[in-house]
Amino acid sequence: MKAKNANKTCWNCPAAIFKGHVDFRACGQSIEPKFVDGEQSIMIECERRPDLGLYEPSITLEQCTEWQLTEYGYMLKNMRIMILGIDGYLGWTLALKLGSLGCKISGIDNFFRRNCVDEKDSHSVIPINNIHERIKAAKEILGIEIKFKEIDILDRKELRNFLDEVKPEAIVHYAECPSAPYSMVDCDHAIKVQTNNVIGTLGLLFLMKEIVPETSLIKLGTLGEYGSPLTGRALFEGIFPGEAVLNWNNTEWSLGGELTPRDPVSFYHVSKVQDTFNIYEACKYWWLRSYDVMQGVIYGVHTEQVAADEKLRTRLDIDEWFGTVVNRFVAQAVMGFPLTIYGKGEQIRGFIALEDAMECMTRLIISPPEPGQYDVVNQVSGLYKIRELAETVAKVGKEKFGIDVKIQRVENPRVEAEKHPFNVVSQKLPNTFGFKPKVSLEKEITRMFQLLTQEPIRKKIEEKAHLILPETWWSGDKKQVETLEVYKPGTKELKGYEPKLITEERNE
């Protein structure tokens, strides 16, 4: 079968440099474009193939000698990819995956994550070396070269120099604080998260406009930007589809093409919503191009590359600030700590295994958007109730590892609906980019048990057991949550709404 991106053209290629005064507008009321002298079409020069001279941007990726066919589709040879936040859970994993595909990897990090985890007096329960040791191991074990600079994304002078030096052809932006509870600790933490995330991204957009306007930005948002509408309205992929209609007071308007409503659930999530608008505007004003990834919660420890050697593993946190739910549940089970569900546990969220998430990112990176294109993908492979996750972790633990663990409901320190419908549209990754999930929830949980039950890791989990129960309340209180109920897995019926993940392009 033909690769999904085979028919894309120079329009999508970061090596295509537009020539002459091409005045694009994306406000819906475009002015007449002005063309290169005498030419009646938009002309480009190829940064990679200067021998082609000035030409119309019509060569397909399939025809171009700079693009090669891979299992993910056509990919720019030795594509220069800069990962912002390369020392993090996802950044490190992606660097190794893309490096193993032959991409030229560069990255920055200022160790924001390591410092916040220190602030909690916690640690990654999977031991990780400092970035320099990690980079050395990547070279020795996988033959991957990584060009790294310790830079704070807020330091625009340093970031400008590095962008100018590398001239990346895609930028993956992970360099944000990823924690909702951390942003709810107090005023200082909320300001720190919003400054880091919002101002960091805004500054980056200005630098991209100046230095690498042809480069695509693959930016991590979160599914939590949308909230969980109590009406059950589907969570579309960021932008209403063409058929969507608003009917009010006997009048109908099309909503097609407009950004969908956002209903963030913490000051962290608000920072992501603000990013969404800033990126959307930058694409509109300056013809930048971006995929904004509404990311479900990622769980797991496995990709081929991070599993290749213990020196290559990625971090895993379990404390109340940085431990995400599935990762934390498996760690809790490993030490026999009841799996803590906040409130009713019927909250539904979107999830995806680490390996699948990395595959989605690879597919997005190699198929860049067109100039001015702001697009959103919902990156998720399964929707689960929190109680259901606890049951699955307990079941895998018992059946495959002989571990008996209880489930414990505690007070919910968050302000969130504990019972709600949840219908998520995720059509673009499977249909436009050819993504098919490979890793089931049970499979990744099994891999996690295999790793986390290893003695040195189990010990590191036990050392931080006291940091698991939440103390950070959305109300601003700082107190341990009370237990509401403790029960044996498999003894309670799962109630509430059935979520729906809509992946088919037409769902009649």
Ligand X SMILES: NC(=O)c1ccc[n+]([C@@H]2O[C@H](COP(=O)([O-])OP(=O)(O)OC[C@H]3O[C@@H](n4cnc5c(N)ncnc54)[C@H](O)[C@@H]3O)[C@@H](O)[C@H]2O)c1
For residues 90 and 205, which CB has a smaller minimum distance to ligand X in the complex? 90
Distance of alpha carbon 336 from alpha carbon 325, whole angstroms: 16
In whole angstroms, how close is the CB of 381 to ligand X at the nearest point? 13
In whole angstroms, how close is the CB of 423 to ligand X at the nearest point? 19
Using the rule CB under 6 A, is 324 a contact of ligand X? yes
For residues 24 and 111, which CB has a smaller minimum distance to ligand X in the complex? 111
**Residue in the shown chain whose Cβ atom is closest to ligand X:** 88
Biggest CA pair distance of the chain: 77
For residues 91 and 421, which CB has a smaller minimum distance to ligand X in the complex? 91
Using the rule CB under 6 A, is 113 a contact of ligand X? yes
Catalytic one among 93, 201, 215, 222?
A: 222
The pair phi, psi for residue 102, each rounded to 5°, is 95, 5
32: which DSSP letter?
P
Which listed residue (141, 154, 244, 259) binds ligand X by CB under 6 A? 154
For residues 103 and 117, which CB has a smaller minimum distance to ligand X in the complex? 117
Surface-to-core class of residue 249, CB atoms within 10 Å of its CB (0-12 exposed, 13-18 middle, 19+ buried): exposed
In contact, 498 and 423? CB cutoff 8 Å: no
In whole angstroms, how close is the CB of 296 to ligand X at the nearest point? 7
Q: Which residue, among 229, 225, 103, 238, has the nearest Cα to 176 in the 3D structure?
A: 225
- Is 396 strand, coil or helix? helix
- Cα of 484 vs its chain's centroid, Å: 33
Which listed residue (96, 103, 134, 176) binds ligand X by CB under 6 A? 176
Which listed residue (144, 166, 220, 288) binds ligand X by CB under 6 A? 220
Q: Which residue has the tokens 């002989």?
A: 402
Q: Which residue, among 19, 369, 5, 101, has the nearest Cα to 216 in the 3D structure?
A: 369
Catalytic one among 97, 272, 428, 464?
A: 272
Active site residue 70: no
Strands (E), 87-145: 104-109
Which residues fall within 8 angstroms of residue 145, CB to CB, at 6 or more apart?
Answer: 99, 104, 105, 139
Distance of alpha carbon 425 from alpha carbon 350, whole angstroms: 11
In whole angstroms, how close is the CB of 91 to ligand X at the nearest point? 5
**Number of Cβ within a 10 Å radius of residue 454:** 13
Active site residue 488: no
Active site residue 491: no
**Could you tell me how many residues of this chain bind ligand X (CB under 6 A)?**
28
For residues 109 and 346, which CB has a smaller minimum distance to ligand X in the complex? 109
In whole angstroms, how close is the CB of 81 to ligand X at the nearest point? 15
Catalytic one among 89, 268, 291, 342?
A: 268
Using the rule CB under 6 A, is 174 a contact of ligand X? yes
Using the rule CB under 6 A, is 298 a contact of ligand X? yes
For residues 16 and 298, which CB has a smaller minimum distance to ligand X in the complex? 298
3-state SS string for 207-243? HHHHHCCCCEEEEEEEHHHCCCCCCCCCECCCECCCC
Using the rule CB under 6 A, is 87 a contact of ligand X? yes
The residues annotated as belonging to the active site are 222, 268, 272
Contact residues for ligand X, defined by CB under 6 A: 85, 87-91, 108-113, 152-154, 174-178, 196, 200, 220, 222, 295, 297-298, 324
